[in-house]
């Protein structure tokens, strides 16, 4: 027997409609690429998102078409989030920090029809425009006065001109909630970047869960600063959460240094901020150097990479800001676990409390997790046994876009599909998960992925190199940096500088290893694979000051 409740599809557009109707005068404040601070309201945002839907229609965008963005966190990006997904097209956020060749690959793979970009990324767009065969129009996210001249980009349009020409009368269409709403490529896997295609339903369910008190704990009384980029898994869902709860939003644009962030936090009375450890390190250094304090900031969610215990301690005990350590993935929309304490933990002393909060946290409702041992057996939740972390849930990826890399799921004895995260973890009796290592062959530097395999392939292409392994070494500022361990061809001569010069122009500059260590041989396993864990153990402190 079916229930007798109304059917209403869970659609992204309902979030901005709700924000307009119930929190219409709540502000969205943005630091703009043009240099100034822009402010308007959810009502303005909704009006302009409707204009954008009309503008996209006039550009020939139809439901399910992909529309790309190369943009910072800002109000125009927010309008695209709602305009594109709301009309039934797919919002494809692109990470501008990738190498131009990778971006061209992604645009082509996604078959983006229109590409929106912030002026910061004009040089990048100029490089790739000729290779983006599916893109019918490039739109500079600025006004007429700031439009660049003589760019050589065919069919370059101006964002504000587009909106000005478009009516704000638009009724958001109703459609199946399983329709795709957004696409985000992850380079945190081996091989080519892979697209994770979110649906309206998965995103709405994720939004409900993310806003909960033991998750991001957001309300209409909050002022939220998402420093985590809108091109990284939808800024951890905050552009959606803010609309659901009616929180004021503060977008930092390109200003990610300590001073710019601090000024924004204080001027806009931010209560809650979200970002990766590297960005927070810059902010903490600025505070420390200036002898400053936060006057309104109460909570921060730190994720994307492990939050160092010292940072946790400084935020909480030095500045009175509660830290929520979170773990997630592009493949998880991204929220998986968050370190909200249970009642009995409130009595813990500062050291034990900090140790618990340094774990990656408890699963939010909707996410199931388990850890498997070497033979695929399920391991106990004893806080000691560590194994491969697998997850499942309604906002966990089922397959990558266009089946790239094949089916990623592992099927268990009950025929349930589980997504292998590539992380190795323990889970304690309270359900707190802790990442202890990583089985995937990638390096995460400042919250961004570096493919060790690509670096190894390039190194191996050097005539003086017999074999090479690239590993993550600990780094004070960037958390991890690539370190190349290389074996020379017999009799060959090459210096570290010469080898590093060989990478120039072939990969993004920040992917270049920080150092090269020449060894006689790299340790190999039974199947001939390099034993990276042994290398990591031997060289993990190599880049740290001694």
Stretch that binds ligand AMP, among 120-128, 157-165, 315-323, 415-423 (CB under 6 A): 415-423
Does 472 participate in binding ligand AMP (rule CB under 6 A)?
no
- Pairwise CA distance, residues 142 & 420, whole Å: 41
Q: Is 421 in the site for ligand AMP (CB under 6 A)?
A: yes
Q: Which is nearer to ligand AMP, 330 or 357 (CB)?
A: 330
Q: Which is nearer to ligand AMP, 423 or 454 (CB)?
A: 423
Chosen residue from 74, 195, 303, 482 binding ligand AMP by CB under 6 A: 303
- Stretch near ligand AMP under the rule CB under 6 A, chosen from 36-44, 95-103, 304-312, 516-524: 304-312
Residue 180 lies near ligand AMP (rule: CB under 6 A): no
Q: How far is the CB of 264 from ligand AMP (least distance, A)?
A: 24
- The CA-atom distances, in angstroms, between 480 and each of 108, 305, 354, 470, 516 are 30, 9, 22, 12, 15
Bridge partners, 465 (sequence order): 488
329 is an interface residue for ligand AMP by CB under 6 A: yes
- Is the Cβ of residue 34 or residue 214 nearer to ligand AMP in the bound state? 214
Residue with smaller CB distance to ligand AMP, 56 or 324:
324
The C-alpha torsion from 38 through 39 and 43 to 45, rounded to 10°, is 30
Interface pick for ligand AMP out of 74, 334, 387, 482 (rule CB under 6 A) = 334
Q: Determine the interface stretch with ligand AMP among 200-208, 297-305, 396-404, 461-469 (rule: CB under 6 A).
A: 297-305
Helix (H, G, I), strand (E, B) or coil at 275: strand
Is 327 a residue that touches ligand AMP (CB under 6 A)? yes
438 scored as a contact of ligand AMP (CB under 6 A) = yes
Q: Minimum Å distance from CB 267 to ligand AMP?
A: 29
Distance CA 58, CA 133 (A): 20
Q: Which is nearer to ligand AMP, 338 or 469 (CB)?
A: 338
Among 284-292, 340-348, 402-410, 418-426, the segment contacting ligand AMP (CB under 6 A): 418-426
List binders of ligand AMP among 224-283 (CB under 6 A): 233
- What string marks each residue from 185 to 204 as x (binds ligand AMP by CB under 6 A) or -? -x-x----------------
Stretch binding ligand AMP (CB under 6 A), from 71-79, 221-229, 298-306, 516-524: 298-306
The angle at the Cα of 478, spanning 117 to 302, to the nearest 5 degrees, equals: 75
DSSP label of 238: H
Min. distance of Cβ 187 from ligand AMP in angstroms?
Answer: 8
DSSP per-residue string spanning 37-75:
EEEEEHHHHHHHHHHHHHHHHHTT--TT-EEEEE--SSH
Bridge partners, 426 (sequence order): 434
Catalytically annotated residues = 186, 331, 444, 449
Q: Which is nearer to ligand AMP, 56 or 106 (CB)?
A: 106
Of 265-273, 300-308, 349-357, 470-478, the window that binds ligand AMP (rule: CB under 6 A) is: 300-308
Cβ neighbours of 42 (radius 10 Å): 26
- In whole angstroms, the minimum distance from the beta carbon of 125 to ligand AMP comes to 23
As measured in angstroms, the least distance from the Cβ of 124 to ligand AMP is 20
Angstrom CA distances, 375 to 383, 520, 545, stand at 19, 33, 39
Query: Which string of x and - marks every residue 100-139 that binds ligand AMP (by CB under 6 A)?
Result: ----------------------------------------
Q: How far is Cα 85 from Cα 410, in angstroms, rounded to an integer?
A: 30
> Can you list the alpha helix ranges (DSSP code H) found in 246-317?
258-267, 277-290, 309-313
**How far apart are the C-alpha atoms of 199 and 182, rounded to whole Å?**
7
Residue 28: name the closest of 67, 68, 81 by CA: 81
**Cα(215)–Cα(326) distance, rounded to whole angstroms?**
9
Beta strands in 187-332 (DSSP E): 194-199, 223-226, 248-251, 272-275, 299-302, 322-328
Q: Which two tokens stand for residue 503?
A: 């990478």
- 154 or 476: whose CB is closer to ligand AMP? 476
Stretch 348-377 residues interacting with ligand AMP (CB under 6 A) = 360
- The crossing angle, in degrees rounded to 10, of helices 277-290 and 258-267 is 80
Q: How many residues bind ligand AMP (CB under 6 A)?
A: 22
423 binds ligand AMP (CB under 6 A): yes
Question: Do the beta carbons of residue 45 and residue 265 sit within 8 Å?
Answer: no
Our CB check for ligand AMP shows the closer of 11 and 326 to be 326
| Nearest residue (CB) to ligand AMP, 163 versus 321 | 321
Is residue 452 at the binding interface for ligand AMP, with CB under 6 A as the rule? no
Residue 222 beta carbon to ligand AMP: minimum distance, rounded to whole angstroms: 22
304 interacts with ligand AMP by CB under 6 A: yes
DSSP state of 4: -
Q: How far does Cα 424 stand from its chain's mean position?
A: 20
Residue nearest to ligand AMP (CB): 330
Closer of 75 and 449 to ligand AMP (Cβ)? 449
Which of 126, 109, 104, 114 has the alpha carbon at shortest distance from 83?
A: 114
Mapping DSSP to helix (H, G, I), strand (E, B) and coil, where does residue 357 land? Answer: helix
Let me know: does 444 contact 471? Beta carbons within 8 Å: no
Of the residues 11, 242, 305, 433, which one makes contact with ligand AMP according to CB under 6 A: 305
Quick one: which segment of 138-146, 260-268, 322-330, 462-470 binds ligand AMP (CB under 6 A)? 322-330
Q: Is 376 exposed, middle or buried (0-12, 13-18, 19+ CB in 10 A)?
A: exposed
Classify the C-alpha dihedral 19-23-29-32 as positive or negative: positive
Query: Where along the sequence are the contacts to ligand AMP (CB under 6 A)?
Result: 186, 188, 233, 303-306, 325-330, 334, 360, 421-423, 435, 438, 444, 449
């Amino acid at each position: 027997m079916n229930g007798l409740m109304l059917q209403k599809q869970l659609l992204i557009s309902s979030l901005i409609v709700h924000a307009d109707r119930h929190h219409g005068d709540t502000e969205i404040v943005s630091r703009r690429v043009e240099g100034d601070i822009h402010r308007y309201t959810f009502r303005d945002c909704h009006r302009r998102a409707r204009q954008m839907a009309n503008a996209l229609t006039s550009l020939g965008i139809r439901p399910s078409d992909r529309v790309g963005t190369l943009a910072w966190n800002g109000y125009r990006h927010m309008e695209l989030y709602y305009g594109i997904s709301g009309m039934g097209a797919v919002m494809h956020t692109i990470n501008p920090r990738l190498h131009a060749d990778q971006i061209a690959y992604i645009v082509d793979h996604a078959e983006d029809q229109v590409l929106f970009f912030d002026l910061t990324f004009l040089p990048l767009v100029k490089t790739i425009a000729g290779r983006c065969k599916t893109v019918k129009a490039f739109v500079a996210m600025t006004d007429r006065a700031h439009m660049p001249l003589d760019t050589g980009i065919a069919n370059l349009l101006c964002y504000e001109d587009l909106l000005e020409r478009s009516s704000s009368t638009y009724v958001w269409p109703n459609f199946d909630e399983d329709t795709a709403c957004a696409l985000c490529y992850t380079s945190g896997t081996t091989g080519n970047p892979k697209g994770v295609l979110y649906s309206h339903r998965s995103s709405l369910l994720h939004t409900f869960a993310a806003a909960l008190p033991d998750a991001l704990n957001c309300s209409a009384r909050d002022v939220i600063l998402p420093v985590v980029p809108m091109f990284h898994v939808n800024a951890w869902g905050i552009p959606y959460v803010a609309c659901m709860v009616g929180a004021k939003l503060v977008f930092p644009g390109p200003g990610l240094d300590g001073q710019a962030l601090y000024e924004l936090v204080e001027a806009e009375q931010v209560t809650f901020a979200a970002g990766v450890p590297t960005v927070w390190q810059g902010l903490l250094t600025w505070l420390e150097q200036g002898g400053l304090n936060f006057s309104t900031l109460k909570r921060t969610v730190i994720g994307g990479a492990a939050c160092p215990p010292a940072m946790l301690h400084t935020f909480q005990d030095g500045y009175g800001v509660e830290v929520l350590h979170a773990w997630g993935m592009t493949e998880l929309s991204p929220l998986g676990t968050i370190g909200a304490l249970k009642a009995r933990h409130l009595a813990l002393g500062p050291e034990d409390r900090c140790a618990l909060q340094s774990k990656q946290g408890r699963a939010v409702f909707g996410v199931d997790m388990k850890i498997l041992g070497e033979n695929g057996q399920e391991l106990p939740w004893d806080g000691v046994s560590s194994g491969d972390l697998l997850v499942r849930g309604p906002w966990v990826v089922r397959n990558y876009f266009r089946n790239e890399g094949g089916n990623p799921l592992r099927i268990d004895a009950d025929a349930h599909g589980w997504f292998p995260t590539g992380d190795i973890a323990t889970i304690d009796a309270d359900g707190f998960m802790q990442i202890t290592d990583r089985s995937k062959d990638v390096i995460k530097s400042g919250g961004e992925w570096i493919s060790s395999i690509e670096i190894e392939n390039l190194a191996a292409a050097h005539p003086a190199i017999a074999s090479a392994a690239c590993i993550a070494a600990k780094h004070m500022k960037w958390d991890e940096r690539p370190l190349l361990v290389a074996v020379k061809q017999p009799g060959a001569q090459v210096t570290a500088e010469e080898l590093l010069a060989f990478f120039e122009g072939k990969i993004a500059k920040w992917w270049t290893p920080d150092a090269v260590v020449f060894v006689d041989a790299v340790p190999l396993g039974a199947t001939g694979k390099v034993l990276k864990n042994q290398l990591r153990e031997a060289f993990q402190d190599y880049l740290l000051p001694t």
